[in-house]
Chain A
Amino acid sequence: MATQLRAPVCRALSLDARLASALDKAPMTGPVHSVFRRVLNVLAADRLVALSSEGLDDAPWSVRTDVADWRRLGVEVGAVVVLDSGHIAVEGAPGIALDLRHCQKWHATVSSAAAVATDLLARRTAALEGLLDARGVPGGVVPPRADASPIEAELGRRLRAGCERLTQAVRANDDGAASLAARSLLGLGPGLTPAGDDFMVGLALVAAVPGSRLVAVGRAIRAVLDACPDHTTLVSRATLEEAVAGRARESLLGILNRVFAAPHGDDARFAEHLRTPVDRVLSIGHTSGTDILSGLVAGLRLENELRGSM
């Protein structure tokens, strides 16, 4: 039978090294889970693999491509996707044939918390908080506008109460209270990655930095994800699981690595260096970027407090 050939319309640019390693061991097959402008999610081997667009960061279980808009490629939810160590193909879409053999592998790397003294960490955290205050979006964990509807106001109240309870429980190293607080946040918020989850992603990333004192955070979030796997969306659960393991999109890790980098330059320059990755994170979703950074700042403040108490 003659094979119908069609030139590929897209190209793989980079992929997560852990995904590459998994594909080296065994191919994956699964349906398209969701299609957005900048991401096509595939549900394969019980996890979400994201085919993203060039403008997005490298991220866990993700293949970055030069596709500008996945919605225009005519891929239907449910179409079967086959991934192996060299290629990704989508059933019914012969133009989408991604060659993985020559694209760059991305490694999620995080610095150790040990290189930065307490006073420097406090100053860097303040710089990050300054950027967040100046550029963050209200409506998630940040108080909503004055004209918020009763639902938005109630949502905001619960979010801020949950965040406060979680930080207090971590401060007290109280695993039980931390789990309860994490449970109150899981799935709270309207979006595909609810604001409560986003806050915990930021917190979990700080906790996952080697040498961090926030050990209670990882334990609490893992316990809640195990106990209530259906309490949040699939996309958000996958993001949280990776964050607990210290893996997240590159711009987030970039911020953490700058915060925990060996001392150099003055504080003003440090804020300048942070601006680009902060802007990139703030552009995630509607309030997601702001909520993740709020969790990151809360985690960094806790890290400093707990250092002082040891």
Chain B
Amino acid sequence: MSVTALVKKNTYIDSVSLMSISTKANAIAGVSQAFVAMGTEKNKEVLKSVGLLAPELEAATNGDLMIVVDAEAGVAPEELVPAIEELLVRKAPAGGAADVTYRTITTAAQANDGANLAVIAVNGAYAAREARKALENGLHVMLFSDNVPVEDEVALKALAHEKGLLMMGPDCGTAIINNVGLCFANAVRPGTIGVVAASGTGSQEVSVRIHALGAGISQLIGTGGRDLSEQVGGVMMIDGIRALAADPGTEAIVLVSKPPAPSVEKKVLAEIATAGKPVVVYFIGGSEAAVAAAGGHFAASSQDAALQAVRLAGDPEASVPGLDVARADAARAGFAPEQRYVRGLFCGGTLCDESMFALLDAGEDVWSNIQKDPAFVLAAGSPSKGHTFLDFGDDEFTNGRPHPMIDPSLRLARLVEEAKDPSVAAVVMDFVLGFGAHEDPVGVTIPAITEAKKIAADAGRHLEIVGYVLGTDRDTPNAAAQIAALESVGVTVTRSSTETGQYARAIVRKGHNA
């Protein structure tokens, strides 16, 4: 046995890196065994018991790092030390190649021959420059960043179009490309339905409903929220439709957007006539006649969009259950006379929009930070009044803080505030699962739900809390576990974004039109 050792004073290396270093040290040619460990008394006892406690280790203390090398016969151990010290200097990233850091997009593209897509999430002030570099290097782009000037968006999309690349974003939160979920996407089954969406949570909802109906997604192309505005002109949605039309793995196409600019809607609808595949159009508040005239299939809701797509893609028997009217009646019967209003606290903009539209459709006045009617716009910091539906993912709430799908703190505080208002009958919330979302959105909300219910109960009121979990059985955590956790604290759980709006409408109305 030929042993050498060294001690690095006051050296702290996290245990994952330490294990990585140890493994690599043991793999160095000429090393019989190597041990890298903190210099505690007990570790020194172990070394002593196997005959490896070199004299220089005696003085090591609990804050020092010990490196012990037992060389193979014929190899001088001191010759091995530099290679091990090099490992310490490099401290290789724990995750291996997946964690390699590049300083620029260009070097990353050059170092990875097969790479063809860049996900960019930097400050909006620098995002356009990085996206341009990616496009110039032949990469499709998913631009997660927001606050990118619209002029930059127009220029980037023109460049991408010219190069035959996808320019998803800016402000694009969800995409599924070749079965790989990006950013906030959910884990859904691969399939034959392609989605092009100008709405992040809207596209998540449609993909999750398609999965729940037993079908799957071929590609989900995000366009960014402004794509269907007058200035941008729907460039990405049109390119997306063409890409899916040419994709042999796609049999039916779904388009999802908040209300588009009329002139852009016209251009997009003109495109579907030449797609050569059935196209379902779900533009919130859109015109059924215009879609039908263009040869598309109009969807009145996200659930309807998913259902029609699944039927068109080969399962004509697909169906969804209707609203449980008796459950809504029972909830309404428990309200005190002054409990007249619903408060919606949403992470997802499209989910908020869909539920809000359900009430507006029923003739109710709704205040919101995303209201189109200026008379009913409620600023982010303002107290609620009447029916109030808030999108916590809107810029006003996210300025300087993470999206509520990651940081739920503002929404939790608002839930407790709403519970104190005696005019509130119900609070409606969404819980969005997915790769980039909070790891346990229900768990982190349960203490606030419990507190809110207690506040109402102490005041002699029943507060109905309605929750919708946007997620699948493949997400982590999975939707069933999150639903069970909500039900365990008395939350009424709905089965889709569409049903959430229907339920909210039903519990504040005397009759039902659901």
Q: Say whether A272 contacts B481, CB under 8 Å.
A: yes
Bound Cα distance from A25 to B420, whole angstroms: 33
Bound Cα distance from A262 to B41, whole angstroms: 43
Q: Is the interface of B mostly helix, strand, loop or mixed?
A: mixed
Residue from the list A14, A188, A288 in contact with B40, Cβ < 8 A:
A188
Which residues in B have their C-beta under 8 angstroms from that of A36?
12, 14
Give the one of A150, A184, A231, A279 with max B CB within 10 A: A150
Residue A119 CB within 8 A of the other chain: no
Bound Cα distance from A196 to B41, whole angstroms: 12
Residue from the list B18, B400, B488 in contact with A191, Cβ < 8 A:
B18
Residue A305 CB within 8 A of the other chain: no
Which residues in B have their C-beta under 8 angstroms from that of A190?
15, 18-19, 22, 35-38, 43
Bound Cα distance from A138 to B49, whole angstroms: 22
CB contacts under 8 Å to A, within B395-435, are: 400-402, 406-407, 409
Residue B478 CB within 8 A of the other chain: yes
Residue A307 CB within 8 A of the other chain: no
Q: Say whether A37 contacts B15, CB under 8 Å.
A: no
Bound Cα distance from A158 to B41, whole angstroms: 13
Q: Which residue of B lies closest to A102 (CB)?
A: B409
Q: Say whether A149 contacts B49, CB under 8 Å.
A: no
Residue B485 CB within 8 A of the other chain: yes
CB contacts under 8 Å to B, within A116-152, are: 139, 149-151
Residue from the list A151, A191, A232 in contact with B33, Cβ < 8 A:
A151
Binary B-proximity of A4-45 (CB < 8 A = 1, otherwise 0): 000000010110000000000000000001101100000000
Which residues in A have their C-beta under 8 angstroms from that of B407?
13
Q: Say whether B484 contacts A265, CB under 8 Å.
A: yes
Residue A238 CB within 8 A of the other chain: no
Bound Cα distance from A269 to B443, whole angstroms: 14
Q: Say whether A275 contacts B63, CB under 8 Å.
A: no
Which residues in A have their C-beta under 8 angstroms from that of B443?
254, 276
Residue B393 CB within 8 A of the other chain: no
Which residues in B have their C-beta under 8 angstroms from that of A193?
15
Q: Which residue of A lies closest to B66 (CB)?
A: A190
Binary A-proximity of B485-514 (CB < 8 A = 1, otherwise 0): 100100000000000000000000000000
Q: Say whether B476 contacts A151, CB under 8 Å.
A: no
If A265-B484, A273-B481 touch, whether A187 touches B40 (CB-CB below 8 Å) is yes
CB contacts under 8 Å to B, within A223-270, are: 228, 230-235, 254, 264-265, 269
A-B contact pairs, 6 of them (CB 8 A): A151-B47, A187-B62, A188-B40, A190-B19, A279-B476, A286-B15
The chain B residues found within 8 Å of chain A, CB to CB, are: 10, 12-16, 18-19, 22, 26, 33, 35-38, 40-43, 46-47, 49-50, 52, 61-63, 68, 400-402, 406-407, 409, 439-440, 443, 476-478, 480-481, 484-485, 488
The chain A residues found within 8 Å of chain B, CB to CB, are: 11, 13-14, 33-34, 36-37, 54, 66, 77, 104, 139, 149-151, 154-155, 158, 184-194, 196, 228, 230-235, 254, 264-265, 269, 272-273, 275-277, 279-280, 285-288
